[in-house]
Structure 1
Amino acid sequence: MLNLASLYTSYLDYCQYQKNLSIKTLKAYRIDLTQFLVFINELDGSLTKKNLSEFMTSLHKRYQPKTIKRKMASIKAFCSWLEYEEYIQNNPFNRMNMKFHVPHILPKTIPLDIIETLLLAAYQELQGIKTSEFKELVVLRDIAVLELLFASGMRVSELCSLNSDDISLTSGQIRIYGKGAKERIITVTNSSVLSALKKYKVEVGKQVGFSECFFINRMKDRLSEQSVRAIIRKYVQKAKINHHLTPHMFRHSFATLLLEEDVDIRYIQQLLGHSSITTTQIYTHVSVKKQNDILSSKHPRNKLSIK
């Protein structure tokens, strides 16, 4: 019988060092595969279609379709690797019917006036600082984080992983490393956003000196994703905004608002770092304003003069 526990470790090494997968993806693979191996070890420990089917049934009793789909995809990738490396002759997934009905959930966006209110609260917080240089640095960082999330549409993980040499404050170009270590360049052209980034960087230089990480926390370490969520919550409360906002909603808003301004969806795909246009096309279903504009100005019924 295969030593799946040992092969599982080798597979994760392959994913990390050869496929160069992100820390998040590796963590998900580790959780999903561990869960699967524990389950089949309670049966007979073999990698069979029957055991896979029973595991999938157990998942349906506990999780939503989207989570089940992800977990089974993790196991399928592992089995494909086993087959490619010739540890198994017959991949049990080849004879399985795996169709999932995943509800189509539209991404949540932030209305532009809410984004304006949020940013205004951060700038007002800065104006209220009188003596504390450290507090000024913190608020300048908060403003730079909020401005850059909306200006670039980058993922929160991408923002937190930015290094100082990834950002040119002269040209406004930002080098972003996305999923699968794919690199893309986004240019920030808005003068207010560039000014926020420059002021923050100058203050970091004065108080901390050179930092490899562009965004830092109170301990002068790299800013975490949890900290970015806390920054958003902080200004949501200060602005008395009655909405739950997340970093990813800035990304959705970035894409949707550009689409409403008639930006070609393929440009939006490149800006977001999507590998497939299919991923980006979800935003075509979100833009209610765009639908209204089209139907009010382009619908042929408007040409009929019936009284």
Structure 2
Amino acid sequence: MGAKPATIERRLMTLKSYFAWREDRNSALPSPFADVRISVRIPRRLPRPIDRDTLRAVLQEGEATFAVRSKPGADDATPASQNDVTILIIKLLIVTGLRISELTNVRVRDVSPDGSQILVNGKGSKERIVFVPNRELQEEFQRYCQLRSEHGSIGAPLFFNTVGRRLRAATFRKRLRALSKRLGIEPHLTPHRFRHSAATLLIEEGIDIRMVQALLGHASLRTTEIYVRVSNHALRRALERVNILDVLSV
């Protein structure tokens, strides 16, 4: 009772699969779903991007950590801490809109020498190039990649966990939950919410939707169109640029 449409559809698919398997094992037991067509209408959910104030709080957490590690006498060659890496990944998710699985599968050789481009293997094994536009982030990313290349092969994973293996998406999600709890962020941060934020911010700042589609690796423009919504932030910026009373007085 009270199950969501997606849950109902998943349960129906499970039942259909079971009865199809049973019929395949014993033809005397036909599937009750053989001549039944059940369609479950699943409402399209709007993305839940992270608001700008929360994004600022997360990035400031990274700046505070960096300030502690940058005291006089600190060794620049010291490998980045796990918290540093978490914040770096968050920054990359915000500016590139990558899926966390795409980013955790990146290898050292997939990043350009200056840290401005990443070769990504996306859904359906489709390759695309994403850009890191912020100069300060490029330099931070370049330093990290240089350390990784010095401590491993260029074919090694770019991001790794505490035991030196490729960082798994599930592990990064746990890190975000811990960060959310530490900063009192609710609902908690998720990698996909950063992807939603990247798309929403770009569209709010006037980037063409087809460029956003290419960045996100969407096969269909219809998937990207969900981000084309009038937000309070975008509306306020637009109204501030155009003074209607001044236009009428001309």
Separation in 2 of the partners of 1:36 and 1:99? 13
2:161 paired residue number? 217
Question: Which amino acid letter does the alignment assign opposite residue 51 of structure 1?
Answer: F
Residue 45 of structure 2 corresponds to residue 105 of structure 1: yes
Does the residue aligned with 1:128 lie in a helix, a strand or coil? helix
Pairing 1:1-307 to 2, within 5 Å after superposition: 36-42=16-22, 51-52=33-34, 96=37, 99-129=39-69, 136-170=80-114, 172-205=116-149, 208-210=151-153, 212-285=156-229, 287-294=231-238
TM-score (structure 1 length as normaliser): 0.64
Does the residue aligned with 1:257 lie in a helix, a strand or coil? helix
Seq. identity, %: 32
Q: Which runs of 5+ in 2 are unaligned?
A: 1-10
Q: How well do the aligned residues superpose, as a CA RMSD in angstroms?
A: 3.5
Is the 8 Å Cα contact of residues 142 and 231 (structure 1) preserved in structure 2?
yes
**Cα deviation 1:35-84 (Å, max 9, x = unaligned):** 64323344675698952456xxxxxxxxxxxxxxxxxxxxxxxxxxxxxx
Q: Which has the higher contact order (CA 8 A, sep 6+)?
A: 2
Question: Which amino acid letter does the alignment assign opposite residue 106 of structure 2?
Answer: L
Q: Which runs of 5+ in 1 are unaligned?
A: 1-30, 55-95
Does the residue aligned with 2:166 lie in a helix, a strand or coil? coil
Give the aligned length.
Answer: 232
TM-score (structure 2 length as normaliser): 0.77
Q: Structure 1's 39 and 264: CA in aligned 2 closer, same or farther, altered over 3 A?
A: same
Q: Higher helix proportion, which one? A: 1
Q: Structure 1's 41 and 236: CA in aligned 2 closer, same or farther, altered over 3 A?
A: closer
Is the 8 Å Cα contact of residues 119 and 129 (structure 2) preserved in structure 1?
yes
Separation in 2 of the partners of 1:153 and 1:170? 20
**Cα deviation 1:96-131 (Å, max 9, x = unaligned):** 5x6432113110011122112112212322433488
Is the 8 Å Cα contact of residues 105 and 157 (structure 2) preserved in structure 1?
yes
Is the 8 Å Cα contact of residues 215 and 222 (structure 1) preserved in structure 2?
yes
